[in-house]
Structures are given as C-alpha cells and as structure tokens.
Structure 1
Amino acid sequence: MKDVDASIKASEEIRSACLSFRSRRAARIITRAYDDALRPLGLQAPQLTLLSAIAAAGLKGQRVPVLVDVLAIDPTTISRNLKQLEKGGLAEVVSGPSDRRVRVVTLTGKGREILAAALPLWRAAHRQVEERLGAKMAMHLAEALDGVARLGRDCRAPRERCLPDRG
C-alpha cells in the first residue's frame, strides 16, 4: 500500500510540475491539428517539418547533420524519417560531393509539389491553432518555444546537459 501511495504522490508531482510532461502533451494537441489538416495529402506534421527543412537548402540539398541540428532530432530518428520520405518518392539521399561519408538530402519533384500543396493546408491549421489559443497566448508560446530552442541549439554535450545553467 505504501508503494501505491508513493507512486500516486510521484505521479501528482510529475503531472503538476514537469515541463517535459506539459510540453509533450501540448505538442501532441497542437500536432493533431496540423496532422488533421495535412491528412488529404497523406502527410503528417513531422514529415512536413522535415520536408520544409530540406527545402530550405534549395536544389543543392541539405546535409543530414544540419537537419539534425535544425530540427533537434537525433540522427537515428532523422534516418528513419528520411527513409519514409524516400520510400514515398518525396526525397532523395545521396553521398556528399566532397565527402562521401556525409549524406545530402534533396526534395524530388514530387516532394516539392507536395510541400507547395501543403502550404494552404498548413496555413489553415496554423490559423485554427492561433485562433484557439488566442493571439496573445500564441505569441507568448512561440516566444517561449524559441527561447528553449536557443538554449539547446549549441548543445553538443550528453543529453542531461543540453539545457545549460542560466547563472
């Protein structure tokens, strides 16, 4: 019985104070709105995010390590997600021109078409999320998320040290 009480107390503290719990819950709710909007194209929000990050480099392509940094996703997850895009004919991964160990990703013609077709759907979802949150909350949320991203952007240390002390 004591174990049950301790686990309930731990659960209450985690749910009420944990930023990871709260941010993941909020991310799932927000992502669901984008996923619903993108469904007619057979896309999900994480795929759109990856397509957008690849497209930012234009026809020269984006190096995989840059995608890892920009999206703050571990290399294994990027590789798995890129395989899905390749399988769908949306992206192509090749060896880098100067260093064959570096992989470079470009969008295919189909990938560029899907990204362009996704834009109005994304805009509608974005507008819906902003309307539900309210302009002020949406702005504060965007600023807070950008602040967290800035803190972790230069993180090269083990995961537990990714958010440096502010002191």
Structure 2
Amino acid sequence: MRFSQEDLKHIGSSCLNLSLRRTSRLITNYYDSALRPSGLRITQFTLLAAIAYETEPSITDLARLTDIDRTTLQRSLDILNRDGLIKIEKKEIGNVRNISLTKKGELSLTKAVELWKQTQKTITDNLGKSEFKQTLKILAELRNLPVLEIDPTEES
C-alpha cells in the first residue's frame, strides 16, 4: 500500500475540494427544499435570474455569466424551454440564439425570488452577517485564483 491511514485521514480533514463539495450538496439541498413551492430547483432559479438580469443573453453570454460549461448549460436550457419557462430564438444573422423568459418563467421566478430571500436571510442569520460576507469574499477569491484557470483548448 502506497498510502497510510494517516494520509487518508489527512485527505478527509483537509481537502478543499471535498469540503466544498460536501458543503455544496448540503446548501443545494437546502435551497432546493426552500424553493420547492415555486416548482424550481436552485440551479433553475439561478439560470432564470441570470436570463432576467441580462437582456436576451446568448448562450455564450449566459455561460460566461454563470460559469457553466456550454454542454451542461444547453441541457439545463432545454429543460427550461421544454417546461415553458424560457424561449430560445435564433437571430437572423449567424448562429446566435437569444434566450428570454416567458410569462410562466417570470411568474415562477417572481415566486422563487421571495422564497430565495427568506432562505438567504435564514442562512445569514444563522451564520452571522459578517461571517456570511466573509464566506462570499473567500469564495470569490478562490474563483479568481490564476492557478485555477483552465484553458478550454487543452485536452484532458
């Protein structure tokens, strides 16, 4: 064996990726549960919010805004389109498609925003306002580390 029990214990207690993924799953489940009355999951909510924020974004705009790879984003958009929450329209020039909310999408997002606000407040109150802000700051700093930048043209 090339690793010890101590190595494995150290991985479990100090791996940033493991800790972030565990926390992400818990937070995602919490938001999904809170948003359930709106009929949206947190992933759908964030996409609808991004679409509403950016006026008729292209898929490329949306991928950049949300940091979601285009393949995953396309699958999510197909579901939102199928469910009548968004419409995807091809522009007359080029291969660009714009995305916008439908009336149903606007209504779902409106309901979900109120639920999201309540959820945010609960988490902020439980963590503490300054700790909450500090957590967001640290996460933003992590996302901006140059070492984490991946060249999409590199092969895996």
TM-score by length of structure 1 reads 0.81
- Equivalent runs, 1:76-91 vs 2, <5 Å: 76-91=71-86
- Equivalent runs, 1:123-142 vs 2, <5 Å: 123-142=117-136
- Equivalent runs, 1:25-40 vs 2, <5 Å: 25-40=22-37
1:149 and 2:137 correspond: no
1:71 and 2:66 correspond: yes
Q: In the alignment, which of 44, 48, 52 is matched to residue 47 of structure 1?
A: 44
Give the share of equivalent positions with the same residue, in percent: 33
Who is 1:113 aligned against?
107
Who is 1:94 aligned against?
89
Q: What is the letter of the counterpart of residue 67 of structure 2?
A: A
How far residue 97 of structure 1 moved from its aligned partner, in angstroms, is: 3.6
**Distance in 1 of aligned mates of 2:109 and 2:65:** 18
Identify the range of structure 1 (13-22 vs 34-43) with the bigger mean alpha-carbon deviation. 13-22
Q: Unaligned stretches of 5+ in structure 2? A: none
Who is 1:17 aligned against?
14
How far residue 9 of structure 1 moved from its aligned partner, in angstroms, is: 4.5
8 A contact 2:39–2:108 mirrored in 1? no
**Distance in 1 of aligned mates of 2:128 and 2:52:** 30
Aligned to 1:21, the other structure's residue is in SS state helix
How far residue 55 of structure 1 moved from its aligned partner, in angstroms, is: 0.8
**Distance in 2 of aligned mates of 1:108 and 1:131:** 34
RMSD: 2.3
8 A contact 1:93–1:105 mirrored in 2? yes
Residues 159 and 37 (structure 1), Cα distance of their counterparts in 2 relative to 1, 3 Å cut: farther
Q: Unaligned stretches of 5+ in structure 1? A: 161-167
Residues 63 and 7 (structure 1), Cα distance of their counterparts in 2 relative to 1, 3 Å cut: farther
8 A contact 1:48–1:115 mirrored in 2? yes
How far residue 11 of structure 1 moved from its aligned partner, in angstroms, is: 3.3
How far residue 117 of structure 1 moved from its aligned partner, in angstroms, is: 1.2
